[in-house]
Structure 1
Amino acid sequence: MRQIVLDTETTGLDPKSGHRIIEIGCVELINRKLTGRHYHQYINPEREVDDGAIEVHGITNEFLVDKPVFSQVVDEFMTFCDGAELVIHNAPFDVGFIDAELKRLGSPRWQSVAAHCGVLDTLALAREKHPGQKNNLDALCKRYFVDNSQRDLHGALLDAEILADVYLMMTGGQTDLALAGTDTSGDDDADNETQEAGSIRRLSAQRAPLSVVRASAEELQAHEEFLAELEKAGGKHFW
């Protein structure tokens, strides 16, 4: 299964008011493992960025002046995502902006996100798993022990990378975030020691056997005396 964890930064909050995408960040998962492939692009929105938005992501109008416009990057971006399931935190926001950009272009090839990709909203998933709790990305990082110490400002690629870790932890079945097909330990036997959670993990035959510590006669006697006192007091036990 191919999934693309995606995030965007924008000039403001509402594409219906003419706000545009200024950054896209994506990371690829195949069969729930990071592949190392990613897509990252800053975009000239052809309009001013709101001051409130700059406070969130730190991307200024001056920085975006020489960046390509969306029409120049759409083919590369959509080809990267085509056929995958998009994993997005608060998906209606990002999908709404992408669809607005595609509609503005009027491309016969790329009509909408739904025409080319599935979408999984991790915010909706988090609210289902943790009702009544904070479920923004920072709160989920704290809950699932994902390091977000570099997240002083929002950034599309960094947030996509963090969301990938959160998504894998939140949905279970993946605790090793090493790249798919890559032995990052330098140990040829690493695959025998670290496997996807939920699969069978077999111990090496060369490992020392576990020691068995048995109760002493004094400890057994003390245990019997305790149970006798418990029965006198009307208590029940299963020992």
Structure 2
Amino acid sequence: MPPRSALPPPPPPVEIRAWPDREALLADRAYLLGVLVRMHIGPGRLGLLWLWGLLGALGWSLIGTALIAFEDTYDFFSAVFGVVLFAMGAACLVPAVVLVAAGVRRDTAVRRLLERWGELDRDPARDALLRLPGTSLVWLLPSFVLCALGLYACVVVPAGAVRGQDTYGLMALIMGLGFLTWIVGLIGIVKAFWHRRWILRTLAGGTAPGPLISAGGGAHR
């Protein structure tokens, strides 16, 4: 049995499709599309994205604090304290970046599968359950806020910095946190808009493809 995190397979080639009739094809298509949609914009995916973002923010906060400590270092113990903070921050930031990158790659694979299974046929009754406008808004609105906050921290705050009062370490800390916040928000916005675009283009747009199951139960060649 494949692990729960494994992606469903793509639709089989026309030559080897073995659905007994169109209803069986539509049932499999509806089930797998439901699984893929949950993998793409399910609440759990949003929670994981924010968790990884928080881990990255914690890591950069420690690194930024270490940079500030290096700027204010006057003795050996302060330098050691900065090195320890930097190492702890890197231990948090690097896994967070790796996890976010892996999540983006997984989302790309899920989108390909959504497109392929969605284009297999049309089933308006079952496809209506995949629209999930409320879930898309849950992704979109907080992500938009995160993007706005991130841009503010990256652009507005450094522009208002006072020379001699706001240190380079402090600005690096704020800009790094802003950049991470913007990245997390941007990922959420892209996923919300892509889901809406997929609904309009694949499920709601165009006409259904020709029949894929012959009257005798075999696939057309």
TM-score range, shorter chain: under 0.3
Q: Give the structure-1-normalised TM-score.
A: 0.24
Greater RCO, 1 or 2 (C-alpha within 8 Å, sep 6+): 2
Larger Rg: 1
